[in-house]
Structure 1
Amino acid sequence: MTDLLYSETESDLRAAVRSLLADRADPAALPARVETGRPHDPAVWQALAADMGAAGLLVPERLGGQGAGHREAAVVLEELGRAVTPAPYLTSSVVATETLLALDATELLADLAAGRRTAVLALPLSIGPDTVRPATGPGGAPSAAGPVTGVADAVVADVFLVHRPDGLYAVDAAEVTVTPVTALDLTRPLATVAADSGGTRLAGAGAAGPAVRRGLLAGAGLLASEQLGLAEWCLEETVRHTRERHQFNRPVGSFQALKHRMAQLWLEVVHARAAARAAADALATGSPEAPLVVAVAQAYCSRVAVHAAEECVQLHGGIGMTWEHPAHLYLKRAKADQIALGTPGRHKEALAALVDLPGPAAAE
């Protein structure tokens, strides 16, 4: 039977990451930081990715990584979700790294594992594992197909992985035009990316598609852990606030209606933890059921994260509606994550196909 409990190693890793983020990425200071338009803190990323070695958790030791696995990476993402930390961990250390692992791109993997460079897939953040399509230019020629919209963390990327009909290419940031766009989630900036026909070819057409799908599947599975961490923070912060906030000489958290809402949310978070941990474990063990477990985790955890963030805003009352309180950043991250790497509807359709049942569209 699969053990989804946290190991001692995972608990130690959690404590280290949480301590780092508490010292250098406090959510209370995040609203002021995002207002500058530069949410990423290079010093925090250096400490997390290079000094702590978190960027190399999925990379084998022979390539300079930590030789850990998806369960450990999931713990890091839980903590990043708890603090809605603006860091390219999901896009670079998970999605891009998994894509490169499928191709055994040793030199670039070593750079990513050491935190010397960051890489992102030049694909919209909304694209899911089952919707991978190479880009084509005029007349179907191999090309970047003009600008690609909605690319997450492009503003801090050193390398772009561009999927073209004839293969997958690594293109340096100097050869790419990156135009920032206004995004709902201020902590995960989006940009429009225009890449020319240059770059180094990493794989041919036959290998590129499966490699990209592997990266997106890992990203979707571990995104559930980020959503879990976000939901946990929202619940804990809401409980803390309602204990301290008094009305009629009583803590508002003692009112029955609010207790019921928080109890229901606690149950949802517990279920989300099981789903997220199952997805991370399935990816870590290379289970053939990984696509199914990932679809379940994403379809469920995305909804729980949004619900937790909505309750956090509402139960904080007036303070929850202000810019100074970080609750709005959690809600925006949760809503953006809900459509990242495939919407819940897409994952439910994929799940229906995997278990040979009529999907939502067919049921209608």
Structure 2
Amino acid sequence: MSFDNDERADLRASVRDLLSKHSDSRAVRRAITTEHGYDESLWRRLCEQIGVAALAIPEKYDGVGASLLEVHVVQEELGRTLTPSPMLGSAVLAGQTLLLSGDDDACARLLPDIAAGPQAALCWAGPDGWSHFGVTAAGETLSGTAHYVLSGDVADLLLVLTDDGLFEVAARADGVTRRRVPAMDPTRTLSEVSFADVTARRLVSTPDLVERIRAVALIALSAEQVGAASAALEQTVEYAKSRKQFGRAIGSFQALKHRMADMYALVETARSMSYAAALSGTYEDAVIAKVYCSEALQSVAAEAIQLHGGIAITWEHDTQLYFKRAHGSAQLFGQPREYLHQLAQAASPPVRG
């Protein structure tokens, strides 16, 4: 099923073509061993030739003025190839946080750089995840540590969410310490960013900013998960056509056909869930997409491991990378069970006294 109009179809073709040339399996494996954890030249190409970082930024801030549906397309394609990039951390999280804050001055100052490709990072989560802030504010002084920060170790600009609002900090300001931390998924770098009485610039923020940026984050992540699940399925089907046992391709066995059909159903349902969330933009639909797409990718990646046999768990094979992406992305921005609890509470009728 396709949700693309002509413009999004062209965008998808352009991104896929560029990634096919510069982000195959070997290129991804090289990129994750570099200092920054991604291919800087590929990111420049994506920004300069296609304008991916500028897509959802309004034209008055030097952006393209497209919607989050176009971001969805790019996220899908990056997920298909497991391409490490600053797209989610900088262009989506940081860029959309500025836009949603309603701070016109900050948008005018900061968004043109983000649209051009230089990176920003959103510092948010505490040690227990995204339900609590890692950094506290006393006036315009920040203290504490933000965990699981995307692009945190390489960004030039830090946006910091606290229980007292949104702040702007130069990444190299006195008192800021950044370090990359080990992660399950080698194709996505995570960092800790610590603030020791750092002087920050307070930005305008709205009371519902956290919920709105969480919705954007969950939708963008679900798009990436759909792309990864689709690629894992396609690779499994191709393997089943070529791998032979008892003189027949294993894909001809009825039991394996059923399992791959189930994988296909998961992928297509996840795609529908993700696009429904992108079209509505509501927090509730974003949560549903997060839960379903996380579980769908984990199931599809696990089946891909099984259907490839023992070779799939070796480092040389790509299926293990999709498996790690599945489990790593399921934890990002909050575990599915946390959101299921929210959904259950929302669905429960009020107790009458």
Q: TM-score, normalised by structure 1?
A: 0.87
Distance 1:19 1:67 in 2: 23
Q: How does 1:256-275 map to 2 (within 5 A)?
A: 256-275=254-273
Whether contact under 8 Å (2:28, 2:84) holds in the other structure is no
* 1:362 match: none
| Partner of residue 158, structure 2 | 160
Instruction: Indicate conservation of the 8 Å contact 1:171/1:199, yes or no.
Output: yes
Q: Is 1:328 paired with 2:328? A: no
**Is this contact kept in 2: 1:144–1:194, CA < 8 A?**
no
| Kept in 1: contact 2:55–2:66 (CA 8 A) | yes
Larger deviation, residues 102-111 vs 17-26:
102-111
Question: Over aligned residues, Cα RMSD in angstroms?
Answer: 2.2
Whether the 8 Å contact between 1:55 and 1:89 is mirrored in structure 2 is yes
Alignment of 1:194-205 (within 5 A): 194-196=194-196, 197-203=198-204
Given that residues 178 and 194 in structure 1 are in contact (C-alpha distance below 8 angstroms), is that contact kept between their aligned partners in structure 2?
A: yes
- Unmatched segments (≥5 aa) in structure 2: none
Q: CA deviation at 1:133?
A: 3.8
The answer to whether the aligner puts 1:319 opposite 2:316 as a matched pair is: no
- In 1: Cα distance, 2:295 partner to 2:26 partner: 24
Classify 1:74/1:189 alpha carbon distance in 2 versus 1 (closer, same or farther; 3 Å): same
Aligned positions, number: 342
Moved more, 331-340 or 145-154: 145-154
Q: Which runs of 5+ in 1 are unaligned?
A: 284-289, 359-364
What does 1:73-92 align with in structure 2 at a 5 Å threshold? 73-92=71-90
- Which residue is 1:27 aligned to? 25
Q: In the alignment, which residue of structure 1 is the partner of 2:329?
A: 337
Give the distance between the partners of 1:244 and 1:341, measured in 2 at CA: 38
Tell me which residue corresponds to 1:299.
Answer: 291
- What is the CA distance between 1:27 and its match in structure 2? 2.5
Letter in 2 for 1:99: T
Which structure shows the higher strand fraction?
A: 2
Q: d(CA) in 2 for partners of 1:14 and 1:265? A: 23
Distance in 1 (CA, whole Å) between partners of 2:220 and 2:348 is: 25
1:119 maps to a residue whose letter is A
What pairs with 1:100-179 in structure 2 (closer than 5 Å)?
A: 100-102=98-100, 103=102, 104=104, 105-115=107-117, 117-124=118-125, 127-128=129-130, 131=131, 133=133, 135-136=135-136, 143-175=141-173, 176-179=176-179
Residues of 2 paired with 1:53 and 1:32: CA distance? 24
Matched residue SS, 1:229: helix
Q: Which letter does structure 1 place at the counterpart of 2:221?
A: L
Q: 2:121 is paired with a residue of what secondary structure?
A: strand
How far has the Cα of 1:181 moved from its partner? Answer: 1.2
Provide, for residues 160-219 of structure 1, a one-character-per-residue CA deviation record: whole Å limited to 9, x for no partner. 11124543221122123111111111111111111342233222xxx2653343222101
Of stretches 233-242 and 44-53 in structure 1, the one that deviates more from structure 2 is 44-53
Which range moved further: 346-355 or 245-254? 346-355
Counterpart residue number, 1:187? 187
Match of 1:63 in 2: 61
CA deviation after TM superposition for structure 1 residue 317, in Å: 1.5
Question: 1:299 & 1:24 partners in 2: Cα distance?
Answer: 31
Q: Provide the C-alpha distance between the structure 1 equivalents of 2:59 and 2:337, rounded to a whole number of angstroms.
A: 38
CA gap 1:64/1:33 in 2 versus in 1, 3 angstroms: closer
- Secondary structure of the equivalent of 2:180? strand
State the alpha-carbon separation in 2 of the partners of residues 42 and 35 from structure 1: 12
Counterpart-to-counterpart distance in 1, 2:268 and 2:144: 44
The answer as to whether partners of 2:69 and 2:278 remain within 8 angstroms in 1 is yes
Higher RCO (Cα < 8 Å, 6 or more apart): 1
Distance 2:340 2:237 in 1: 32
Q: Which amino acid aligns with 1:111?
A: D
Amino acid across the alignment from 1:198? T
Contact persistence 2:311–2:317 (CA under 8 A)? yes
Cα drift, residue 353 of structure 1: 3.7
The one-letter code of the counterpart of 2:189 is: P
Q: Distance in 2 between matches of 1:37 and 1:249?
A: 47
CA distance in structure 2 between the partners assigned to 1:216 and 1:127 by the alignment: 13
SS class of match (1:156): coil
State the identity %. 38
Question: 1:242 corresponds to which residue?
Answer: 240
**Aligned partners of 2:223, 2:33: CA distance in 1, in Å?**
27
Compared CA separation, residues 311 and 31, structure 1 to 2 (3 A): farther
1:6-35 deviation per Cα after TM superposition (whole angstroms, max 9, x unaligned): 111111111000011111111244234434
Shift of 1:127: 4.3
Which residue of structure 2 lines up, in the alignment, with residue 280 of structure 1? 278
How far apart, in 1, do the equivalents of 2:284 and 2:233 lie?
28
Q: Which residue of structure 1 lines up, in the alignment, with residue 38 of structure 2?
A: 40
